Amino acid sequence: MSSSPLRPESALANTWTIARRELRDALRSRWFALNTAAFVLLGVGVSFLSASAGGGGGLSGFGRTTAGLVNLVTLVVPLMALTAGAGSVAGERERGMLAFLLSQPVSRVEVIAGKWLGLALALAASIFLGFGLCAAIVATRANADGAGALVALAMLSLFLALGMLGIGLLISVLSRRTSVATGLAVFCWLLLAFATDLGLMAGTLTWKLSIQTILAACLANPLQVFKIWSLDAAGIPLDVLGPVGQYTMDRLPNALPWIAAASLTLWAIVPGASAALLFARKPAA
Amino acid sequence: MIHIALACLLAAISARTLPQPSTTTSTGAGDLGALIAAAQPGDVVRVSPGCYRGVVTIDKPLTLEGIGRPVIEGFGRGDLILVTAPGVTVRGFDIRATGTDLDKENCGIRVLAPRAVIENNHLDDVLFGIDLRGAPDSIVRGNIVGGKNLDIARRGDGLRIWKSDRTRIEDNTLHDGRDAVLWYSTGVEVRGNRVERCRYGFHLMYSHGVRIERNELVGNSVGLYIMYSDTVDVRDNLIARNRGPSGFGIGLKEVSDYRVERNLLRENCVGIYMDDAPFRPGAAEICGNVIACNNTAMSVLPNSKGNTIAGNAFFDNLRTVTPLGRGDLYDNSFARGEAGNFWSDYIGYDEDGDGVGEWVHEPVALFSELMEREPRLAVLRFSPAEQAIDFVARAIPAMRPGPAFVDEYPLTQLPSGIAGAYAAGRTGREEEEGMGAVGAAFAALALLAVSALAALGGLS
């Protein structure tokens, strides 16, 4: 806290102060180091393997680097963001930091906004570090996909991370203990990464869902939105996604980025805003 | 219109100044009909630059040779050149703007007699391009045929060979048409042609003894579709990016005695589609091809039995060889002697270094199996759920589907005869220029941003 507690500052200044503290804490914490290391290593591994496979025959056809990275991001980035968000408020509450923080002249919304911003910056650092190194590999290997696709993928990953961070914060605000919050975050990750898809799979097999229904279900899941948008942005023809992809190509060729953006924006705003509102309403912990 | 008129005028002037070869006839006037009428059989009729109105009917054995690319113009109506006599050569013309009547099959060059030579003509904005009807022993060489900018259902065939045995089709370029189709024509040779943005690259119907070599069939709905034909050789072709809703690289339907060898099939929806092939027992060889980056490498109806699929390299296809519908492919051989195919998804090793893996290749992919039953599931491709399903199938034998086929001798090295350089040199995808620089710049920027953030966080 660089400002004097006696002199109330503007909401933006308060938010920024908290964000900076959050960012600093995050960059010094183990979760950030570990997650970043994991993401970077896996990302570099995927790029390297994709770039060197294919028998050296110039056969890097349909964006295999992109496809590999998309798969990786849908697994790692939501987990990173969810656990980061889940740990923040609950952890401070457990350590008594939160009571101290709220005794300062800051509003509760500012606290959440600051934490969101700080963690978002930390996640951005992590994601850009990972993609930066992937891009470096792409730059040295003629056989990999274009770096333009990587830039798009990095941006979309950050977009996805923002939504997951909001859910994490919401969990954190609702949980009394860090362990519960982390558990819930992991559960949420399992739900989004696996359970919804498996459910959709089962539903499709059982009830013969229509293509529109499947597409709508996919566009409601931020991970699927991220995946579809990334493939599209990387220039991979969506017919690799079967009839649903074909339908999207035929019927929504230009609308897809807008729908995807709308979906991810909702995911980025609604859970985070709900966390702030709930936290503002709650009596002091 | 004005410059066409001008061109005609110029033609008329230049005709008078042209030298008159003693053994040939020369012209520049607007009416080629009179000229042809005046020529003797066997004459070479040289046509000077200019614009001539179709239809031009050639009813005696002549060589009609355009000097300086004279234009035969149809103004969007009717046919343009009609050959009714045997032994006619048409060479060096620009032929454009036929009618659009599919019932009358408006056509650039229609040949109704044997032994025609159609050479070095540029056909543009034509409904049907070159149409051989009962013209055996003809040669179609070095022409460029551009179709009309119409919906695919309203286009005509860029090239149609109808009951014209022993025709040679060489070094032509066909684009934006419907099909290049061979009907009831035996012993045709198709070499060195390029077909792009059409519906079917080459389409064989009841045409036997056809050789298809060194063609490039790119960006069509289907590259090469062979139906109801016997004794077909398909070699050294590049067949890429044929991605229609049912886009195949090569389709084989009720074909017997075929050899599909050393082709490169890449980025097609389906590399090779097989329905009841071979139709009769006999040679059925799919050997030495590179099949890469297709959505599905080979989609085979289980009624296809007795194929030898060996020495191919399967790279990075989303799915490799899959039976369509229920059934398996056990009645086909995936090896010749003790050499199978190279599979980029092979899980195994080569202990004794003989180039053949120690484990058989029997791809088990529960997700693919599920997709077979429900193609709509493909939307979940590249998602963690796909891996989860496949992992479960590998881990729990009860969940494991039976493999659709087994390659007992999977190759761990590229088969000889498939040089990587072949693939790269012939087909290298247009590399994005300067992408390396963009990547380096992005890497630098990302590192800069991260260090800035770290510095920001470090400030207290």
Percentage of residues in chain B having pLDDT higher than 90: 55
Closest alpha carbon within chain B to A197: B385
pLDDT value at residue A89: 85
Residue B419: which residues within 8 A CB-CB, separation 6 or more? none
Residues 56-95 of A with CB under 8 A from B: 56-62, 64, 67, 70-71, 74-75
Hey, is the C-beta of A139 within 8 angstroms of any chain B C-beta? yes
Distance between CA atoms of residues A51 and A64, nearest Å: 8
pLDDT value at residue A72: 85
Please give the structure tokens belonging to residue A276: 């702030």
Residues in B closer than 8 angstroms to A221, CB to CB, are none
* Phi, psi angle pair for A26, to nearest 5°: -65, -45
Residue holding tokens 């046919």? B79
Residue holding tokens 């519960």? A180
Taking the domain B49-427, which CATH number applies?
A: 2.160.20.10
Q: How sure is the predictor about B19, in pLDDT bands with cuts at 50, 70 and 90?
A: very low
Of B313, B380, B387, the CB nearest to A201: B380
Residue A241 has pLDDT above 60, yes or no: yes
Closest alpha carbon within chain A to B370: A205
Flag if A26 and B290 touch (Cβ within 8 Å): no
Contact indicator for B183, B162 with CB cutoff of 8 Å? yes
Q: How sure is the predictor about B457, in pLDDT bands with cuts at 50, 70 and 90?
A: low
Residue A242: which residues within 8 A CB-CB, separation 6 or more? B371, B375, B376, B377, B378, B379, B381
* Phi, psi angle pair for B213, to nearest 5°: -135, 140
Tallying the residues shown for chain A, one arrives at 285
The distance of A281 to chain B (nearest Cα, Å) reads 30
Residues in B closer than 8 angstroms to A72, CB to CB, are none
Hey, is the C-beta of A136 within 8 angstroms of any chain B C-beta? yes
pLDDT value at residue B417: 61
The distance of A174 to chain B (nearest Cα, Å) reads 27
Please give the structure tokens belonging to residue A107: 């509003």
Q: How are beta strands B24-27 and B248-253 bridged, if at all?
A: unpaired
State the CB neighbour count (10 A cutoff) for residue B205: 17
Which residue type sits at B13? I
Flag if A214 and B376 touch (Cβ within 8 Å): yes
The distance of A64 to chain B (nearest Cα, Å) reads 8
Average pLDDT over every residue of A152-178: 91
Of A23, A146, A218, the CB nearest to B379: A218
Flag if A146 and B449 touch (Cβ within 8 Å): no
Distance between CA atoms of residues A66 and B293, nearest Å: 14
Residue A157: which residues within 8 A CB-CB, separation 6 or more? A73, A77, A127, A131, A226
Considering chain A, what is the average pLDDT of its residues?
A: 82
- Beta pairing partners, B198: none
CA proximity to B199, closest of B239, B243, B160, B167:
B243
Flag if B293 and A55 touch (Cβ within 8 Å): no
Closest alpha carbon within chain B to A66: B382
Of B143-147, B165-169, B350-354, give the lowest mean pLDDT range: B350-354
Flag if A242 and B377 touch (Cβ within 8 Å): yes
pLDDT value at residue A94: 82
Residue B107: which residues within 8 A CB-CB, separation 6 or more? B79, B80, B98, B126, B127, B128, B129, B130, B131, B156
Percentage of residues in chain A having pLDDT higher than 70: 85
For residue range B403-441, list pLDDT tens digits in order. 888 999 999 887 766 644 344 444 434 344 445 556 666
Flag if B295 and A246 touch (Cβ within 8 Å): no
Of A244-248, A260-264, B166-170, give the lowest mean pLDDT range: A244-248
Residue B140 has pLDDT above 90, yes or no: yes
Flag if B344 and A54 touch (Cβ within 8 Å): yes
Residue A140 has pLDDT above 80, yes or no: no
Average pLDDT over every residue of B438-447: 68
Flag if A240 and B370 touch (Cβ within 8 Å): no
Percentage of residues in chain B having pLDDT higher than 70: 85
Residue A59 has pLDDT above 50, yes or no: no
Considering chain B, what is the average pLDDT of its residues?
A: 84
pLDDT value at residue B9: 47
pLDDT value at residue B325: 76
pLDDT value at residue B307: 95
Q: How does B107-119 read in b/e, with b if 16+ C-beta sit within 10 Å?
A: bbbbbbbbbbbbb
Of A59, A64, A124, the CB nearest to B453: A124
pLDDT value at residue B351: 83
Of A156-165, B112-121, B156-165, B365-374, give the lowest mean pLDDT range: B365-374
Hey, is the C-beta of A190 within 8 angstroms of any chain B C-beta? no
- B224 against A207, higher pLDDT: B224
The distance of B316 to chain A (nearest Cα, Å) reads 7
Rounded to 5°, angle at Cα A138 from A136 and A52: 125
Of A62-71, A193-202, B241-250, B326-335, give the lowest mean pLDDT range: A62-71
Of A26, A55, A214, the CB nearest to B313: A55
Of A142-151, B31-40, B186-195, give the lowest mean pLDDT range: A142-151
Average pLDDT over every residue of A40-52: 72
Of B385, B428, B440, the CB nearest to A198: B385
For residue range B182-237, list pLDDT tens digits in order. 999 999 999 999 999 999 999 999 999 999 999 999 999 999 999 999 999 999 99
Q: How sure is the predictor about A202, in pLDDT bands with cuts at 50, 70 and 90?
A: confident
pLDDT value at residue B13: 44
Of A136, A200, A231, the CB nearest to B380: A200
Of A159-163, B29-33, B88-92, B130-134, give the lowest mean pLDDT range: B29-33
Distance between CA atoms of residues A265 and A222, nearest Å: 10
Flag if B439 and A150 touch (Cβ within 8 Å): yes
Distance between CA atoms of residues A20 and A28, nearest Å: 12
pLDDT value at residue B162: 96
Helix/strand/coil (H/E/C) assignment for every residue in A149-165? HHHHHHHHHHHHHHHHH
The distance of A283 to chain B (nearest Cα, Å) reads 30
Distance between CA atoms of residues A18 and A24, nearest Å: 10
Hey, is the C-beta of A231 within 8 angstroms of any chain B C-beta? yes
pLDDT value at residue B7: 53
